[in-house]
Amino acid sequence: MDFEQSIRGNKARENFNSGYNCSQSVLLAYEDYLQEKGLDPKTVLRMASPMGGGISRLREICGAVSSLCLLIGLADGYDTPDDEKKKALYTQVQKLALQFKEHQGSIICRELLGLEQKHDQPTPSKRTKEYYAERPCADFCATAAAIFEEHYLQELSK
């Protein structure tokens, strides 16, 4: 799939550019899918809200990647302590997270942003024209959403 042509990827990009954090942006691109799975999108957005900035600006795992993992869990997750199901899920998560890493260079927020500090202050940056011009986060959101779209297209069309 050409990530630039991904409908869900472009929706995730738009979500980020309208003020949602990276994690929320990816999940919101699948609002219809969340509803089909019985999840209220507003509740999911609240649950994803601390994941932005690599977990609340700690600059660890990228929030877009975190939401990619949540979507994989929604599609293929397990609800019993079954090691084979865990292995299958973890295999899929690793595969798609590594695909994100191959495309973007890392799955770590601070590395993606070229930051040296381990974490930022908890105060979010103002969302200005300059902020969006220098932040590649919208592209990270698009990549994560497109990866899920590519690998779960059949599931989404059910």
Rounded distance between C-alpha atoms, residue 134 and residue 129, angstroms = 9
Q: What is the mean pLDDT of the chain?
A: 92
Q: How many CB atoms lie within 10 A of CB 92?
A: 18
**Confidence band for 156, pLDDT divided at 50, 70 and 90:** low
Residues in CB range of 101: below 8 A, 6 or more apart? 107
**Confidence band for 107, pLDDT divided at 50, 70 and 90:** very high
Number of C-alpha atoms within 13 angstroms, CB side, residue 150? 18
What is the reported pLDDT for 154? 56
6 has a pLDDT exceeding 70: yes
Q: State if pTM tops 0.85.
A: yes
Helical pair 137-151 and 83-104, crossing angle rounded to 10 deg:
130
